[in-house]
Structure formats: structure tokens, C-alpha cells
Amino acid sequence: MEYSAPPEDVTFSGLLFDMDGTIIDSTSAVVKHWHTVGNEIGVDPEVILQTSHGRRSIDMLKVLCPEKANWEYVKHMEGLLPKFHGQDAVEIPGARALLDSLIAARAPWAIVTSGTEPLVTGWLEVLSLPHPEHLVTAESVANGKPDPACYELGREKLGLPPTEEKDKVLVLEDSPAGIRSGKAAGCRVLAVVTSHTVEQVAAAEPDWIVQDLRSVKMVECAPGRGVTLRISDGLVRKA
């Protein structure tokens, strides 16, 4: 498998970004934080880390530590992560440039994440990244990824007309759970290989696979004509 697909221009009505692993990489921070939290609540941190990426903390705690599976605890706990470990997070290459171009063109986009609002806003502040006009967080839906509810809500927040075809919305993701969530919502999905192996990402069946967001550039954005992206250096999957 090679990242050598020729450039492809595709037009969408709106874009829905996952956060961790797609816009930022906070892996080191998350590992440190879950070791602290796991030791505090009496759950093996390694067990937490094996199941945490791409999933809501509250869903994981319902299984591993039910007494802590409440929004008050989860929002407080996640809100501490950027404060204590902000220096351990970095941008995914190409993320800032893509977001800046979308904002400059007034293109419709939103962040749809399994993190809570304190976690997301904390990271955006620490890294001085742009805040979206529309945000879907862990608290926004009853069921987390891979359930499609979060991306369905994200699409609604973009204000797209009911007649708009769902596959005109692009989901940008990194985790298999998130990829499956976007696909289940009827959207097209571009996956970055930043947090999982290419084999794990491919198994979730996204429409495109790239190494990071340097492969995604905005070409044009015009009222009534959508957002045209150029997707370059995609993974070529050999038969």
C-alpha cells in the first residue's frame, strides 16, 4: 500500500472534524492523564488506554468504573487534562492551514468529538486553534461513536437543508469508531493515519485514507456551490 493516489477534487456542502487525532495529537497527554486518573479510581490505566481512543470517557467508565460514570465527574476530569498536560499536545500537520482556509472562505464546518466541552475548549485555547461556530461534544448526544448520532447532529448544526444529500458532507476522522460513526450517518469519510495502524483504519472502510491533513487543501468555496477540496497522496489499496 502506497500514499500515491493522484489529486482528486471533490465538492461538499460542509465538513465535520473529529478533534483528537484529527486536529490535534494529545496522545502523550492522554496517557499521562489516564495513568493519574486510573490510579485514583482504582482501574488499571493500561486497560483504560486500550479502549479509550475515539470513545467517550463516560461510556468507558460505565463499564470500568460505574460510580464515576456521571457528567459532573467526567467534565471536571477532562477539563484538567489541557491544564496539566498542555505542553504534551501538538497539531496534526496541515490542520491549522485547512481550518484557517475554511474560516477565511466562510465555509460551513464543525467539530464533532467524543470529548467534553471543557476538554475541547481547553485544547483549542492551549494551542491557539480557531474555535468553531458549531460544536458537538460528548454531552450533546445519548450515544457516543460508533453510533451515528453525533455526526447526524453535526450535520443539523451546519444548517444544511433536509433535501441535501448526506454524502455531500465530509467527516474527517482518525479512529475506527469515528469512521464507522461517520459512515453510519451516511456521510463520506476521510481518515488520517495518526493514531491507529493503516490496517485498522482501512478495516473501518473510509472513502479516503491519507497520512495527515497536509493532503487536504481547499480549492474553492462559493455560495450555493459548496466547498471544493483537493485530496492528494491518498492511500492506494491494491487488490
Say if residue 239's pLDDT is above 70: no
Is the domain of 149 the same as that of 80? no
> For position 1, what pLDDT does the model report?
75
Q: Among 184, 190, 154, 150, which Cα is nearest to 170's? A: 190
Is the domain of 57 the same as that of 76? yes
Burial of residue 175 (CB within 10 Å: 0-12, 13-18, 19+) is buried
Domain count, the chain: 2
Model confidence at 180, pLDDT cuts 50, 70, 90, reads very high
Is the domain of 16 the same as that of 77? no
Is the domain of 107 the same as that of 63? no
Residue 137 belongs to domain with CATH number: 3.40.50.1000
Is the domain of 70 the same as that of 93? no
Is the domain of 95 the same as that of 57? no
Is the domain of 191 the same as that of 122? yes
- Domain end (from 45, 64, 87): 87
Q: Which of 18, 59, 88, 207 is catalytic?
A: 18
Say if residue 49's pLDDT is above 90: no
Contact (CB, 8 A) for 44 and 52: no
Q: Which of 20, 25, 59, 212 is catalytic?
A: 20
Say if residue 172's pLDDT is above 70: yes
Q: Among 170, 67, 188, which Cα is nearest to 109's? A: 170
> For position 125, what pLDDT does the model report?
96
Is the domain of 93 the same as that of 192? yes
Residue 78 belongs to domain with CATH number: 1.10.150.240
Is 20 catalytic? The answer is yes
Cα–Cα distance, 189 to 193 (Å, whole number): 13
**Domain, as residue range, for 137:** 2-25+89-236
- The pTM of the full predicted model, rounded to 2 decimals, is 0.93
Q: Write the pLDDT tens digit of every residue in 109-130.
A: 999 999 999 999 999 999 999 9
Is 233 catalytic? The answer is no
- Domain end (from 49, 65, 87): 87
Contact (CB, 8 A) for 54 and 138: no
Is the domain of 36 the same as that of 143? no
